[in-house]
Amino acid sequence: MKTVLIDDERLAREELRRLLGAHPEVEILGEAGNVTEALKLVPELRPELMFLDIEMPGRTGFDLLAALPPPHPQIVFVTAYDAFALRAFEVNALDYLLKPVHPARLAETLARLRRNPEPPAESEGVRSEPRFRADDQVFLREGDRCWFVPVREIVLLEAEGNHTRVWFRDEKPLLPRALATMEARLPAELFVRANRSQVVNRGFIADVEPWFSGGLKATLQGGPAVEFSRRQAQVFRERLGL
């Protein structure tokens, strides 16, 4: 796992190097203290992974990504600020770590990289969005409120026009993304389509009963009752029935 560290703080690079020393699969090829140095270092070394600070003198980590020729390595942002988390995930960062980095959190990031060793594919300059796994954490934002949520804790996704309401824990934020777009990123082995406007985490289905016109009615733990259409009820029976 060939890696470079890019951060304007020397002590921060040294601490990250120390933490990565506990992971022998990681080979640190080099370091850079600003974007200008990184623009020379990265194309020369061609790392598979880049730990990248955001706020640096002159230009930011986002400026570096915009200037680097493709293909890009996997990106893990390491920063003292959480204000850039949404933008980080918009550029398909593998993860977003806050300083000081906790060893267990770093280990979680490297485990995710082992599951997804290749960067997202790029087509016509636009990166595709990879499918999440059940143990991955996703970043959700509604207005000024933000959450990091394990995918497996999402109970229900419900379309409201071109937006989607996401049910998890005691929260129900409304996100400005279409249901079909969000469904395409969810693990198919965990989430099932109930009807045209609802996608359900089958792990939260507490009870199922026959319903009108060949459909099903499912009671969810931590969510409302959901009606499966006749077509989706048939798919549900075929996928999960003995």
Residue 9 and residue 107 in one domain? yes
Of 127, 152, 171, the last residue of a domain is 127
Q: How far is residue 41's CA from residue 151's CA, in Å, rounded to a whole number? A: 35
User: 132 lies in a domain?
Assistant: no
The larger pLDDT score, comparing residue 220 to residue 118, is at: 220
Residue 145 and residue 174 in one domain? yes
Of 79, 95, 127, the last residue of a domain is 127
Across 69-84, average pLDDT: 85
Residue 203 and residue 110 in one domain? no
pLDDT of residue 29: 95
Across 134-146, average pLDDT: 87
Across 65-91, average pLDDT: 82
Of 127, 158, 178, the last residue of a domain is 127
Average pLDDT, the chain: 87
User: 223 lies in a domain?
Assistant: yes
Across 162-178, average pLDDT: 91
Is the pLDDT at 127 greater than 60? The verdict is: no
Is the pLDDT at 174 greater than 80? The verdict is: yes
Task: Tell me the DSSP string of the chain.
Answer: -EEEEE-S-HHHHHHHHHHHTT-TT-EEEEEESSHHHHHHHHHHH--SEEEE-S--SSS-HHHHHHHSPSSPPEEEEEES-STTHHHHHHTT-SEEEESSPPHHHHHHHHHHHHHS-SPPPEETTEEPPPPP-TT-EEEEEETTEEEEEEGGGEEEEEEETTEEEEEETTB--EESS-HHHHHTTS-TTTEEEEETTEEEEGGGEEEEEE-GGG-EEEEETTS-EEEEPHHHHHHHHHHH--
User: 66 lies in a domain?
Assistant: yes
Least confident range from 114-128, 136-150, 189-203, 215-229: namely 114-128
The larger pLDDT score, comparing residue 86 to residue 93, is at: 93
CA distances from 118 to 4, 56, 115, 147 (A): 16, 27, 9, 26
User: 21 lies in a domain?
Assistant: yes
User: 114 lies in a domain?
Assistant: yes
Residue 6 and residue 122 in one domain? yes
Number of domains comprising the chain: 2
Is the pLDDT at 108 greater than 60? The verdict is: yes
CATH of the domain at 171: 2.40.50.40
Residue 88 and residue 201 in one domain? no
Q: Domain residues for 49?
A: 2-127
pLDDT confidence tier of residue 184, bands split at 50, 70 and 90: confident
Is the pLDDT at 119 greater than 90? The verdict is: no
